[in-house]
């Protein structure tokens, strides 16, 4: 394949290009039209196509003689166990669990919330929903009850599927109390709850609507695949929004299937029978696309990893897995590599393993700094490919594409646009900028197949958040620039959604929580650079008049509050008391300048600032409290 030729055709004749790619997946009925616009004016792909995603992932491969091939390799560094499911075994387990859901009245279009750790039953539950046309919504097991309840209220699921606990290092996290608390907060409770009991912690079930997974499976009957329309939703995945309310990204069946099959080969250079590992939780987009669906649609074996890159038992865990399972390509957030570097900077543990089958390291989800890139490139001896995409789309938008033959790698760049994505840099008026000019990263419509057609039950917010900024473009929310060779460089978020270890979290939501503290008059939460996590949130608080609470006590209480409402993944550890926040005359807090100050970057003094002295005071606060890269040392 020739990248330039394919990219050119994808923009000039997208219907022809994607029709050819669509022929590579097994439809029940091939689409009648490739690209259309619905009554709302939204672009849709593959109208009239009929399919089933679970069939594509499992049954199709069994029918074509690959039933004995490895499909899912569950490797739990937490438990020290490995279990491999062949395509035939996984199909059987999924069909049985789909039968349980069907028997209890779950049908096409119903929603099912999945709140589980990284155990194979989580993937089985996802695929079972797809098998009967139900719409799953996976919620990361680390989210607190408040976050879970918001998603339940929005999706209104018929069922919730969970496990008795998660395990993090030596700590057991019981899930049932979290779920019970979340359900006490929702307006409409699910009709039933299926729970997988894990050996290290048993949950107490009560009532006929709380069901033991193993008991149900013992009496289950297999369910067949249900035919769905290409436009029918496969899943809802909630992503943090700037208002604090999560946005329910919809993924349709048709476009998703085509995008997964195409990207596994074209972007990741991994094909049928090979082993791919996306070291992500299924609560995030990467886990959906490249731990579960992408590898299985492509006929690969997928590593399903439960654990951390360090202390399980050491920082050589990733390299052990690559050797043991003959992994060809690993996809991971740079945070994981930084954690390994912190504990094994000289790569002594890495040298113990045979990585001769390893070909590519893909990194995404946050900025890959030069130190991490250089270390990984030197130690691993394989291409380190930084690429860029978002929850709103299902596969890469900017990537050095292994399937086309890698182009020269430029450290700091996420490379060139993937076919189907006309990525541009524009200024505040929508004018397209030239090489070297920094601006907003946007994508000319239509987006490629697999991208979200709208938000769950919120067309208005879909338009306002993504389509209203620049006519004819999708607003990514990121800033950046490109060079003369059309290599792109992403400089960071332009809104207040920050990236903590690959997890997108809303600082607006954190601010709302901090503001509930009785001593707080005003606050701002800003994401600043962090050597290991990528970014971390820092709170700046103005106290109410007459309040005498100490900073130490306030910080302790705010940290506990954020952990309760969002969870430990927020990594909120610092809150400092300030006299006032830097603002414009119109009352807008200068978060971007606070961030640049903490990160040690230069910035221009805004002409609209209310009181420039406030910035000098804030700099002293940050320095005194050693907050940010500029003051840490």
pLDDT at 4: 96
Crossing angle, helix 370-380 and helix 334-343, to 10 degrees? 70
Which of 286, 336, 358 lies closest to 118 in space, CA to CA?
Answer: 286
Residue 84's beta-bridge partner residues? 73
Per-residue DSSP letters for 455-518?
BTT-HHHHIIIIISSSTTEEEEEEEEEE-TT--EEEEEESSSEEEETTEEEEHHHHHHHHTTST
* Helix segments in 192-316, DSSP class H: 213-218, 253-266, 285-286, 294-297
Higher per-residue confidence, 632 vs 264: 264
Answer CATH for 498-624 from 3.30.300.30, 3.30.420.40, 3.40.50.150, 3.90.550.10:
3.30.300.30
Mean pLDDT of 471-489: 95
The answer to whether residue 244 scores a pLDDT higher than 70 is no
Contact between residue 556 and residue 563 where contact means Cβ atoms under 8 Å apart: no
pLDDT at 365: 85
Domains of the chain, residue spans: 498-624
234-243, 323-332, 358-367: segment of lowest average pLDDT: 234-243
This prediction has a pTM of 0.88
pLDDT digits (tens, 9 = 90+) for 74-101: 999 999 999 999 999 999 999 999 999 9
pLDDT digits (tens, 9 = 90+) for 416-460: 999 999 999 999 999 999 999 989 999 999 999 999 999 999 999
Per-residue DSSP letters for 292-339?
IIHHHHTT-EEEEEES-SSSSSSTTHHHHHHHHHT-SEEEE-HHHHHH
**CA atoms of 123 and 91, how far apart (whole Å):** 11
The answer to whether residue 21 scores a pLDDT higher than 70 is yes
Residue 432's beta-bridge partner residues? 426
Kindly state the tokens that stand for 260.
């997964």
pLDDT digits (tens, 9 = 90+) for 206-242: 989 999 999 999 999 999 999 999 999 999 999 865 4
CA dihedral 251, 257, 263, 266 (to 10 degrees): -150
pLDDT at 633: 55
| Mean pLDDT score across all residues of the chain | 93
Residue 172's beta-bridge partner residues? 167
Residue 534's beta-bridge partner residues? 500, 530
The answer to whether residue 359 scores a pLDDT higher than 90 is yes
Band the pLDDT of 606: cuts 50, 70, 90.
Answer: low
CA dihedral 221, 227, 231, 237 (to 10 degrees): 10
**CA atoms of 161 and 617, how far apart (whole Å):** 50
Mean pLDDT of 463-470: 96
Contact between residue 79 and residue 204 where contact means Cβ atoms under 8 Å apart: no
List the Cα angle 350/81/173 in 5-degree steps: 100
pLDDT at 507: 83
Instruction: Output the CA–CA distances (angstroms, integers) from residue 46 to 226, 333, 350, 422, in the order listed.
Output: 18, 32, 46, 20
Which of 251, 260, 326, 336 lies closest to 299 in space, CA to CA?
Answer: 260
116-125, 539-548, 599-608: segment of lowest average pLDDT: 599-608
pLDDT at 608: 58
* CB neighbourhood size of 179 (10 A): 23
The answer to whether residue 551 scores a pLDDT higher than 80 is yes
- Please list, residue by residue across 386-423, b when 16 or more beta carbons sit within 10 angstroms of its beta carbon and e when fewer do: bbbbbbbbbbbbbbbbbbbeeeeeeeebbbbbbbbbbb
pLDDT at 547: 87
pLDDT at 497: 75
271-280, 375-384, 514-523: segment of lowest average pLDDT: 514-523
The residue behind tokens 């393993």 is 353
Higher per-residue confidence, 165 vs 601: 165
**174: which residues sit within 8 A by CB, 6+ positions away?**
164, 165, 201, 203
* CB neighbourhood size of 15 (10 A): 12
Contact between residue 260 and residue 298 where contact means Cβ atoms under 8 Å apart: yes
Q: Using CB atoms within 10 A of its CB, is residue 139 exposed (0-12), middle (13-18) or buried (19+)?
A: buried
Count of positions (residues) in the chain: 633
**356: which residues sit within 8 A by CB, 6+ positions away?**
none
H-helix or E-strand spanning residue 82? strand 81-86
* CB neighbourhood size of 629 (10 A): 14
26-40, 141-155, 538-552, 582-596: segment of lowest average pLDDT: 582-596
Bond into 466 cis (ω within 30): no
pLDDT at 369: 82
Considering the chain, what percentage of its residues have pLDDT values greater than 90?
78
The answer to whether residue 304 scores a pLDDT higher than 60 is yes
Instruction: Output the CA–CA distances (angstroms, integers) from residue 305 to 191, 237, 349, 599, in the order listed.
Output: 31, 20, 19, 33
The answer to whether residue 297 scores a pLDDT higher than 90 is yes
Three-state secondary structure call for residue 287: helix
């Amino acid at each position: 394949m020739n990248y330039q030729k394919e990219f050119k055709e994808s923009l000039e004749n997208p219907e022809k290009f994607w029709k050819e790619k669509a022929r590579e997946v097994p439809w029940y009925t091939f689409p009648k039209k490739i690209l259309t616009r619905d009554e709302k004016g939204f672009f849709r792909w593959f109208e009239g196509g009929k399919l089933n995603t679970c069939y594509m992932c499992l049954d199709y491969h069994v029918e074509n003689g690959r039933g004995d091939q490895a499909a899912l390799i569950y490797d739990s560094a937490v438990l020290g166990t490995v279990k491999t499911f062949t395509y035939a075994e996984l199909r059987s387990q999924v069909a049985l669990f789909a039968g349980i859901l069907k028997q209890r009245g779950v049908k096409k279009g119903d929603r099912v919330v999945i709140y589980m750790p990284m155990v194979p039953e989580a993937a089985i539950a996802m695929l079972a929903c797809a098998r009967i046309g139900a719409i799953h919504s996976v919620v990361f097991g680390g989210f607190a009850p408040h976050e879970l309840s918001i998603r339940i209220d929005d999706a209104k699921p018929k069922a919730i599927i969970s496990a008795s606990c998660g395990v993090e290092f030596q700590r057991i996290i019981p899930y049932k109390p979290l779920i019970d608390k979340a359900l006490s907060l929702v307006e409409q409770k699910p009709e039933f709850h299926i729970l997988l009991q894990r050996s290290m912690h048993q949950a107490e079930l009560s009532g006929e609507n709380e069901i033991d997974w193993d008991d149900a499976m013992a009496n289950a009957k297999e369910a067949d695949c249900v035919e769905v329309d290409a436009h029918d939703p496969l899943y809802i995945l909630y992503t943090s929004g700037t208002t604090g309310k999560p946005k329910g990204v919809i993924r349709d069946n048709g476009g998703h299937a085509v995008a997964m099959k195409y990207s596994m080969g074209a972007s990741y250079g991994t094909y049928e029978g090979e082993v791919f590992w996306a070291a992500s939780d299924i609560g995030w987009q990467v886990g959906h696309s490249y731990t579960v669906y992408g590898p299985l649609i492509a006929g690969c074996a997928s590593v399903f990893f439960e654990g951390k890159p360090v202390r399980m038992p050491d920082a050589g865990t990733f390299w052990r897995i690559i050797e043991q399972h003959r992994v060809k390509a690993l996809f991971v957030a740079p945070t994981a590599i930084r954690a390994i570097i912190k504990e094994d900077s000289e790569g002594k543990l890495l040298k113990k393993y045979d990585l001769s089958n390893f070909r590519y390291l893909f990194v995404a989800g946050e900025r890959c700094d030069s130190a991490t890139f250089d270390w990984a490139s030197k130690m691993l001896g394989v291409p380190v490919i930084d690429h860029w995409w978002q929850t709103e789309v299902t596969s890469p938008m900017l990537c050095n594409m292994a399937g086309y033959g890698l182009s020269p790698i430029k450290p700091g760049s996420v490379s060139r646009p993937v076919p189907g994505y006309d990525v541009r840099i524009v200024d505040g008026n929508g004018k397209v900028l030239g090489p070297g000019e920094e601006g907003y990263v946007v994508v000319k419509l239509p987006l490629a197949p697999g991208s979200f057609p709208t938000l769950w039950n919120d067309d208005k917010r879909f338009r306002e958040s993504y389509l209203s900024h620049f006519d004819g473009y999708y607003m990514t929310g990121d800033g950046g620039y490109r060079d003369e060779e059309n290599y792109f460089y992403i400089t960071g978020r332009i809104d207040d959604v920050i990236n903590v270890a690959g997890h997108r979290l809303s600082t607006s939501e954190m601010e709302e929580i901090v503001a509930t503290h009785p001593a707080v008059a005003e606050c701002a939460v800003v994401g600043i650079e962090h050597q290991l996590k990528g970014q971390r949130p820092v709170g700046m608080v103005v106290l109410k008049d007459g309040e005498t609470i100490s900073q130490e006590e306030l910080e302790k209480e705010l940290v506990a509050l954020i952990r309760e409402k969002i969870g430990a993944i927020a990594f909120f550890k610092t809150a400092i008391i300030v006299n006032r926040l830097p603002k414009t005359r119109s009352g807008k807090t200068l978060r971007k300048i606070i961030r640049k100050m903490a990160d040690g970057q230069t910035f221009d003094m805004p002409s609209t600032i209310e009181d420039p002295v406030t910035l000098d005071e804030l700099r002293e606060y940050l320095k005194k409290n050693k907050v940010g890269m500029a003051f840490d040392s």
